């Protein structure tokens, strides 16, 4: 029997969050667009993951390394996305990462994409990331040193 | 200045919603998986859209037709996804559609994917879909006849 | 130093090849298209692989099974594609498989996609598939029983 | 009746071609890989197109601009790909462009991807690109000024 408890995923208020801990430029190519002439809705998640991955790399946490040494895979537990305005072919975007919460079990990030030329965010998301053991598929804590490096900065940054 | 109001996207309690209005079988191919050995998180959104598209087709609303005749494009306004368990290469899934709300401005759907062999939902989502005018990019109402055909079965919500 | 010998990949003359050993219906969704309004060129390769995978499944060769039992992965060694006409959103296609050659080391297939409603092939390809050992990444023969089941039918089918 | 004449697509000998006219760094993310742990074969075509697109941009030919001003879309007419070695998650690649031939009707490019850290090409391709009129879908010449800027450096081929 399907047993899914109703619950809410909240989208962050970016204004209160202070500056991102990471930003990345991403160009829109044909592969990203669809016949509507805009970036396909699922492909924003690819952009968000690129930014998360490169951010984690700056912290010393490279996916392949964590897998090879610890058998650890990052997985997305849940997400919420607000599509506010479209992006089009050849657009250049800035995709960022903000830390909302970092714990052993999981961390929650806010991520937004805005035009590189300036302007309001086009797409805003909240993503909860956890780690699993590749062999068993079960939840395993995030590495302690990584959690420490991911602490939210209370707007100090 | 980024101006994004905090707000919550709720995930539905599938048990209360009754049977789906549409179900579709989807097979997992290499293209859908990633190096973690599971379906890539963004690709579940591709599955959900296939089910929405085929469901709308059964109601007489084919994307290309709506575009050609009315210059109308469907867009996703927001979504929430709960990733409960992974799917793997060669798995066969059933992806469904439930109508939470259908109005002129937009409709909200609950969509879940479960193993075709039976079992709990692997991924559950809530998606708000609207329509825009292709020429202007502005919101335009969904066709009235379509909204009427999309009403939730029992009006319980 | 880059050392790539010039060589030719030939596209098959479908007329001489007789009927396909496998055919599969595939619908074009938004995810498959690009801002040009047509199926994105790389996505035809996804269609071709779906057809190869489902064909191999009918022969008793399921990817996940071959991986779990033999540590064997299929890989594409080379391919040639002729894009003759585009497909668009909501189109229904028939994607097929013809065996050009089946040996222990590799097999070569001809694959075409045509409109389900009838008409000439839109895209024609030739693909050479081999198997590698997952652990070492080295070439390993295709299973003997599979090679036997893949023999070209000399136009008898 | 399917009418496809057999013909050969040749892969270039990179050694004879001299230096590329364009190079681009590309990182491998989860989205690019599959359950085999390597870059999915179709996704190399996405990499090649990113390089073509950025190269054309340096020549003053931006896709969106050509579409808006001339109703002109680039399409791939045919391609051949030789997959020599795999790439994996987190790898950094250099993807290049070499001009084999540039004419009004179409241009043929050689493109290769190699590890950024050095080494032989992993994947080598030959791609013929043409332009169509968006409204009619019919072949239209490439812009004359663009063909002039795309000439192979030494005219040796």
Structural domain boundaries in chain C: 21-149
Q: Is the predicted pLDDT of residue C63 greater than 70, yes or no?
A: yes
Nearest to B30 among D31, D34, D89 (CB): D34
Query: Residue A107: helix, strand or coil by DSSP?
Result: strand
The residue ranking higher by pLDDT, B69 or C87, is C87
> What distance in Å separates the CA atoms of residue B53 and residue B24, rounded to the nearest whole number?
11
Per-residue pLDDT band at A154 (split at 50, 70, 90): low
Mean of the per-residue pLDDT values of chain C: 89
Integer Rg of chain A from CA: 16
Is 60 exceeded by the pLDDT of residue D5? no
User: Whole-angstrom Cα distance, residue C24 to residue C13?
Assistant: 20
pLDDT digits (tens, 9 = 90+) for B37-59: 999 999 999 999 999 999 999 99
Q: Give the model's confidence band at C13: pLDDT under 50 very low, under 70 low, under 90 confident, else very high.
A: confident
Q: pLDDT value at position B83?
A: 95
Domain spanning C21-149, CATH class: alpha beta
Q: Is the pLDDT of residue D10 over 90?
A: no
C-alpha B21: how far from its chain's center?
12
End-to-end CA distance of chain A: 47
Q: Give the C-alpha separation, C51 to C39, whole Å.
A: 17
Please count the helices (runs of H) and the strands (runs of E) in chain C. Answer: 3, 7
For residues B83-97, average pLDDT: 96
pLDDT of residue B117: 97
Q: d(Cα B84, Cα B91) in Å, to the nearest integer?
A: 16
Q: Are B16 and B130 in contact (CB under 8 A)?
A: no
Long-range contacts of D62-70 (CB under 8 A, 24+ apart): D62/A90, D63/A30, D63/A89, D63/A90, D64/A88, D64/A89, D64/A90, D65/A90, D66/D131, D66/D143, D67/A89, D67/D134, D70/D143
3-class DSSP state of C97: strand
Among C30, C38, C42, beta carbon nearest to A36: C30
The rounded distance, in Å, linking the Cα atoms of B149 and B103 is: 11
Q: Residue B8: its pLDDT value, please?
A: 63
pLDDT, tens digit (0-9, with 9 covering 90-100), for D65-123:
999 988 999 999 999 999 999 999 999 999 999 999 999 989 999 999 999 999 999 99
Over residues C70-84, the mean pLDDT reads: 93
D4 band by pLDDT with thresholds 50, 70 and 90: very low
pLDDT at C1: 33
Residue B4's pLDDT band, with cuts at 50, 70 and 90, is: very low
Distance (Å, whole) CA B109 – CA B99: 5
Contact between chains at A15 and B36 (C-beta distance less than 8 A):
no
Give D85: exposed, middle or buried? Use CB within 10 Å, 0-12, 13-18, 19+: middle
Compute the nearest-CA separation of A145 from chain B (Å).
Answer: 22
D42 and B35 in contact by Cβ < 8 A? Answer: no
Which of C29, C50, C53 lies at the smallest CB-CB distance from B53? C29
Q: Which residues of B touch D42 (CB under 8 A)?
A: 31
CB-hemisphere CA count at 13 Å for D39? 25
Q: Average of pLDDT values for A129-145? A: 91
Instruction: Choose between B104 and B151: higher pLDDT.
Output: B104
Asked if D38's CB is within 8 angstroms of B30's CB, the reply is no
pLDDT in tens, C23-46: 999 999 999 999 999 999 999 999
Question: How far C157 CA lies from chain D's nearest CA (Å)?
Answer: 16
Helix (H, G, I), strand (E, B) or coil at B65: helix
Chain A residues with beta carbon closer than 8 angstroms to that of B120: 1-3
Residue owning tokens 């805005």: A114
- Indicate if C34 belongs to the active site: yes
B36–D42: do the CB atoms touch at under 8 Å? Answer: no
Separation between Cα atoms, residue B83 and residue B47, nearest integer Å: 14
A121 vs B contacts (CB less than 8 Å): 2, 4
Q: Is C35–A38 a contact, with Cβ atoms under 8 angstroms apart?
A: yes
Inspect the interface and report whether the beta carbons of D63 and A31 lie closer than 8 Å: no
Is residue B125 within 8 Å of residue A80, measured between CB atoms? no
CATH fold label, B20-149: Thiol Ester Dehydrase; Chain A (3.10.129)
Flag the least confident range among B54-58, C70-74, D31-35: C70-74
ipTM value > 0.85: yes
Give chain D's contact residues with A (Cβ, < 8 Å).
27, 29-31, 46, 49-50, 53-54, 57, 62-65, 67, 88-90
Q: How far is B136 from chain D (nearest CA, A)?
A: 15
């Amino acid at each position: 029997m399907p047993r899914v408890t109703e619950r809410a995923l909240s989208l962050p208020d970016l204004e209160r969050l202070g500056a991102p801990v990471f930003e990345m430029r991403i160009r829109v190519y044909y592969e990203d667009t669809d016949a509507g002439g805009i970036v396909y809705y699922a492909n924003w998640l690819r952009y968000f993951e690129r930014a998360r991955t490169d951010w984690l790399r700056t912290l010393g946490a490279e996916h392949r390394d964590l897998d090879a040494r610890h058998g650890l895979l990052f997985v997305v537990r849940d997400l919420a996305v607000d599509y506010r305005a479209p992006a089009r072919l050849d657009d250049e975007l800035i995709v960022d990462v903000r830390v909302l919460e970092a714990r052993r079990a999981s961390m929650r990030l806010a991520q937004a994409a805005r035009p590189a030329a300036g302007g309001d965010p086009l797409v805003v998301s909240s993503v909860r990331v956890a780690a699993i053991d590749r062999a068993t598929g079960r939840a395993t804590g995030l590495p302690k040193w990584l959690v420490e490096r991911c602490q939210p900065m209370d707007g100090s940054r």
